[in-house]
């Protein structure tokens, strides 16, 4: 079917290009063509990536009943993504500001009051029933969908991003329910294999991917009981690494659903993410499947 249910947040994202970190203070700095505001957020990034590749995502999200409501809905319509389940029940839409150069980025994320809301689960049973894989981002309003989706026997994929504790109170439910689990090594640098082995022993995830930034990634597949390292590849010059993890995650899910082969899926996902970071914004730089299959990457 190639159908995906995605539950994740949307933000209005402003990216600001800078020369270097730390930032030296000055009262004003002219930054011609260095600032850009777009619709983004983990949920939006994933939905747009999957739609661009050729999948059929259904998007559940919460936004504000504010000046950004129509901008967001128009942006979804622009890419052929239904906004039926994107509900404007918050007072304000989440916003983020991202400072970046070629190697680093600093994110200021203001979720407003989104963590105090639950996604209304009434009348979405049919959506779950028609889903191949449910992508439940680790935003609080996705939490109520975990057990519901599992009861339907559907695969759950989630990215818990930056964690350092196997019993992390906020992310424990997501780690426990996920069949496909992604995370970053940013808070476990130097102990990635130890942390991965603990995840394997503690939970029942079928597939685990740990992103290593510029050092590539680790892939674990329970069916083969293998841990494999994949280096980064280069497809074009890097502009901004923001959104690389979302691109890797969403493209992996897309190709895994098609081929049911995690090794094939990760090879394609590495290319997809590499190409994506040649753009400024987190929701930009996505390839169609046919475009991706024509690219011949090379290792850094």
pLDDT at 257: 97
Closest CA to 65 of 113, 120, 14, 8: 113
Predicted TM-score (pTM) of this structure: 0.93
Enumerate residues 6+ apart whose C-beta is below 8 A from 259: 265
Q: At what angle do helices 244-259 and 262-276 cross, to 10 degrees?
A: 150
Domains identified in the chain and CATH numbers: 3-20+35-291 (3.40.1190.20)
Which ranges of 191-282 would DSSP assign to H, the alpha helix? 192-202, 244-259, 262-276
pLDDT at 239: 87
Low-confidence residues in the chain, pLDDT < 50: none
* The dihedral formed by the CA atoms of 110, 115, 121 and 124, expressed in degrees to the nearest 10: 30
pLDDT at 299: 64
What token pair was written down for 149? 């989706």
pLDDT at 300: 58
Q: How far apart are CA 200 and CA 156, in angstroms?
A: 17
Please, is 147 exposed, middle or buried when counting C-beta atoms within 10 Å of its C-beta (0-12, 13-18, 19+)?
A: exposed
What token pair was written down for 34? 């260095």
Closest CA to 195 of 157, 156, 146, 162: 162
The position carrying tokens 């930034």 is 213
Closest CA to 53 of 261, 244, 252: 252
């Amino acid at each position: 079917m190639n159908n995906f249910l995605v539950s994740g947040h949307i933000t209005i994202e402003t990216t600001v290009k800078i020369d270097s970190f730390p930032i030296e203070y000055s009262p004003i700095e002219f930054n011609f063509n260095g600032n850009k505001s777009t619709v983004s957020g983990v949920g939006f990034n994933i939905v747009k990536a999957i739609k661009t590749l050729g999948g059929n995502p259904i998007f559940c999200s919460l936004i504000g009943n504010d000046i950004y409501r129509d901008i967001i809905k128009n942006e979804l319509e622009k890419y052929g993504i239904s906004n039926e389940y994107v509900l404007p029940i918050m007072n304000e839409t989440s916003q983020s500001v991202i400072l970046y150069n070629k190697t680093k980025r600093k994110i200021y994320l203001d979720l407003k009051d989104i963590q105090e809301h639950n996604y209304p689960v009434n009348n979405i049973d049919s959506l779950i029933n028609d889903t191949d894989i449910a992508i439940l981002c680790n935003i609080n309003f996705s939490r109520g969908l975990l057990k519901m989706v599992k009861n339907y026997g559907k695969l759950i994929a989630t990215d818990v991003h930056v964690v350092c504790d196997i019993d992390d109170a906020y992310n424990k439910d997501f780690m426990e329910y996920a069949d496909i689990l992604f995370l970053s090594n940013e808070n476990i640098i130097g102990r990635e294999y130890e942390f991965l082995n603990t995840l394997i022993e503690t939970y029942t995830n079928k597939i685990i991917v740990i992103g290593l930034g510029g050092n590539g990634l680790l892939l674990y597949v329970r069916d083969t009981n293998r841990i494999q390292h994949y280096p980064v590849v280069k497809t074009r010059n890097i502009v901004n690494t923001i959104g690389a993890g979302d691109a890797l995650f969403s493209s992996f899910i897309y190709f895994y659903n098609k081929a049911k082969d995690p090794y094939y899926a990760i090879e394609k996902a590495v290319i997809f993410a590499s190409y994506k970071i040649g753009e400024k914004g987190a929701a930009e730089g996505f390839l169609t499947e046919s475009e991706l299959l024509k690219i011949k990457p090379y290792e850094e």
